[in-house]
């Protein structure tokens, strides 16, 4: 009988041990010696607010405040980490909960090489390549399906389903990318998106502290970034602060009633950024713009809630330190609370002084765009964001120059006028210029697949002021319009072992594709070694008769760029440009390598951008 009772007691003990709640801690760790030394932990476990108290005993670390959330499943702990705190494991004791089982929180030593081997920042010396991981290359077929995840699709014949590309695939193509002249990668979001559909794009996070296992997970991300840094390359991560996926734990179980922007009924954002600076704007319009949801499946975070703000800021810092990324591209920047964004940006600047931050500002107008970054505008709100994605030079600049006939305000005059408005920016060289991305029509398609005009666009991209960004496949003439967006997110042929052609090799590309690839490669490598383009100044001349001339120059080099948007050749008188070309006797055509004497006149072919490296 005693043995039976003892067995029952042991069985109950085992059952009780399994019944204990799993406590998830966000962030999972921190680092000794960080400037962000007031760390707010979010503890999540079933009925964790039933704990009578929480305590720690660790030299240099104090538990300053305990906040029990509206949900019984969250508690927030405010820790003060002093400079004397050493790396180690902090034990958090939840009195009266989980049998007082300690919760481990690790304090790590900071990684070495801040500002040299990571958080280096991205500058106009770089060439950025944007990749959607699911559509670039499948390097590991074992992660194509992950048991338990909501989206189990895998069908390359559908533009809306998963295709299997991953981080290992990207790593396997680093030689290809460096050969092309790429220095920096920007990946569409890599964070877990455990949503039921449309998970290929990655913009609906469901767990901030987990790299999506379908693209390789945490280990593959570390491995890719290490391989890139060992090659002297840089990584930009895509940040999303404005919203999360509807399957995020803080949506399914909201810590506080105001964790999200709440409305009596579903309210979408108006997408009208003008109300943020319009002196005549109605308050209701402002609220709808900032607090309305982006789409129903992506709930809008309330960044005025201090716990939300801390969660997002700490995750940003944690990500840079943990993975060693070099910069942030911030999604849907205009829809965030801008005071919060200044605070978040500053926290990253404080910790990582060389890091680069640029925001997506899909807006229409130079003032609109400048409002969201460091600018020269005399306005009450002052953004500390370094730069934006420069939609203005795309929509109202190069696209107009190559698709509209020349006129007083049209054609290349549009490009000239747009760049003349750079006066609004504190530092135009930080602006990220591009021709297309995952949300836009492929620029080759915009130009009706006109190779001559497309080469003009590429030459402009690699010689204009700013940080140039290429979209994957642009170098092999990938096409597509955004009706719907999946048509601009097609697979890079050759990235899957079953592909019958391989566009990563010259043999797999057509003659026209190799023509463009080699041209782009030539221009990219010239740019990589051009001080005038990477760090020099810019001077432009008023376009005449469809011909637009601009210079990139410094004390060591002068590059002359002559864009003829006309179908017919044009002859220009070089004496007009004496201010910049005096003292130079020869010029080298960058595309061909040919060197010729600078004469009084120069004849330029139709639909061509001639890039000249001037010689004494």
Output the CA–CA distances (angstroms, integers) from residue 425 to 371, 430, 570, in the order listed. 9, 9, 34
Determine contact, residues 239/208, Cβ cutoff 8 Å: no
- Provide the token pair at 470: 């290429």
Determine contact, residues 273/363, Cβ cutoff 8 Å: yes
For helices 306-323 and 338-351, give the axis angle rounded to 10 degrees. Answer: 30
Indicate the SS3 state at residue 472: coil
φ and ψ at residue 69, rounded to 5 degrees: -75, 175
Indicate the SS3 state at residue 261: coil
Q: Which helix (H) or strand (E) holds 107?
A: strand 103-108
Residue labelled with tokens 């895998």: 154
Q: Which helix (H) or strand (E) holds 363?
A: none
- List active site positions: 331, 360
Dihedral of CA atoms 372, 373, 374, 378 in degrees, nearest 10, equals: -20
Report how far residue 96's alpha carbon sits from residue 93's, in angstroms, rounded to the nearest whole number.
9
Residue labelled with tokens 């040299």: 116
Q: Specify the length of the chain in residues.
A: 616
Indicate the SS3 state at residue 356: strand
Which distant-in-sequence residues (6+ apart) come within 8 Å of 291 by Cβ?
A: 261, 263, 267, 269, 300, 302
Report how far residue 21's alpha carbon sits from residue 147's, in angstroms, rounded to the nearest whole number.
23
Short-list 105, 39, 41, 107, CA closest to 74: 41
Indicate the SS3 state at residue 511: helix
User: Residue 321 carries which DSSP code?
Assistant: H
Which distant-in-sequence residues (6+ apart) come within 8 Å of 518 by Cβ?
A: none
- Residue-wise over 549-567: b if at least 16 C-beta within 10 A, else e? bbbbbeeebbbbbbbbbbe
Q: Are strands 601-604 and 432-434 parallel, antiparallel or unpaired?
A: unpaired
């Amino acid at each position: 009988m005693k043995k039976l009772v003892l067995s029952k007691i042991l069985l109950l003990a085992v059952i009780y041990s399994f019944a204990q709640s799993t406590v998830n801690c966000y962030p999972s760790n921190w680092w000794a010696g960080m400037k962000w030394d007031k760390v707010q932990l979010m503890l999540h476990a079933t009925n964790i607010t039933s704990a009578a108290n929480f305590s720690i005993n660790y030299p240099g670390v104090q538990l300053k405040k305990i906040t029990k959330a509206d949900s019984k499943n969250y508690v927030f702990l405010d820790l003060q980490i002093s400079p004397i705190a050493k790396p180690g494991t902090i034990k958090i004791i939840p009195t009266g909960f989980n049998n007082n089982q300690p919760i481990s929180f690790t304090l790590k030593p900071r990684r070495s090489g801040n500002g040299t081997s990571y958080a280096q920042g991205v500058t106009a010396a770089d060439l950025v390549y944007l990749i959607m991981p699911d559509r670039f290359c499948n390097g590991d077929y074992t992660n194509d399906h992950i048991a338990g995840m909501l989206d189990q699709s895998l069908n390359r014949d559908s533009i809306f389903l998963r295709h299997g590309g991953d981080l290992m695939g990207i790593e396997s193509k680093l030689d290809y990318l460096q050969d092309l002249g790429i220095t920096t990668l920007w990946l569409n979001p890599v964070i877990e998106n455990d949503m039921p559909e449309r998970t290929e794009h990655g913009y609906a996070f469901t767990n901030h502290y987990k790299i999506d296992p379908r693209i390789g997970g945490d280990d593959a991300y570390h491995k890719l970034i290490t391989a890139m840094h060992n090659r002297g390359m840089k990584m930009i991560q895509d940040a999303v602060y404005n919203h999360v996926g509807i399957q995020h734990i803080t949506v399914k179980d909201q810590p506080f009633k105001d964790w999200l922007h709440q409305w009596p009924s579903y309210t979408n954002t108006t997408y009208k950024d003008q109300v943020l600076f319009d002196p005549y704007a109605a308050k209701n319009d402002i609220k709808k713009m900032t607090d309305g949801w982006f789409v129903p499946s992506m709930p809008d975070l309330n960044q005025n809630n201090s716990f939300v703000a801390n969660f997002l800021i700490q995750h940003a810092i944690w990500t840079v330190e943990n993975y060693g990324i070099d910069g942030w591209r911030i999604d849907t920047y205009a829809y965030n609370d801008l005071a919060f964004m200044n605070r978040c940006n500053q926290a990253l600047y404080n910790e990582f002084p060389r890091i680069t931050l640029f925001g997506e500002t899909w807006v229409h107008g130079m003032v609109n765009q400048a409002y969201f970054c460091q600018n020269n505008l005399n306005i009450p709100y002052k953004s500390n964001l370094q730069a934006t994605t420069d939609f203005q030079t795309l929509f109202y600049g190069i696209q107009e120059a190559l698709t509209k006939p020349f006129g007083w305000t049209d054609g290349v005059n549009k490009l000239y006028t747009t760049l003349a408005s750079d006066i609004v920016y504190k530092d135009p060289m930080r602006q990220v210029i591009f021709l297309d991305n995952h949300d836009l029509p492929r620029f080759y398609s915009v130009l009706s697949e006109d190779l001559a005009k497309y080469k003009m666009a590429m030459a402009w991209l690699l010689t204009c002021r700013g940080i140039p960004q290429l979209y994957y496949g642009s170098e092999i003439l990938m096409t597509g319009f955004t009706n719907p967006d999946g048509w601009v997110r097609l697979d890079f042929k050759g990235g899957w072992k079953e592909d019958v052609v391989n566009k990563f090799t010259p043999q797999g590309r057509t003659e026209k594709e190799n023509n463009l690839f080699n041209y782009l490669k030539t221009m990219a490598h010239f740019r990589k070694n051009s001080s005038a383009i990477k760090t020099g100044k810019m001077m432009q001349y008023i376009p005449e008769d469809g011909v637009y001339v601009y210079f990139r120059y410094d004390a060591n080099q002068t590059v002359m760029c002559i864009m003829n948007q006309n179908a017919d050749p044009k002859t220009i008188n070089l004496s007009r440009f004496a201010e910049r070309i005096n003292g130079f006797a020869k010029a080298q055509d960058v595309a061909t390598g040919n060197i010729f004497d600078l004469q009084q006149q120069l004849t330029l072919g139709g639909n061509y951008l001639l890039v000249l490296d001037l010689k004494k």
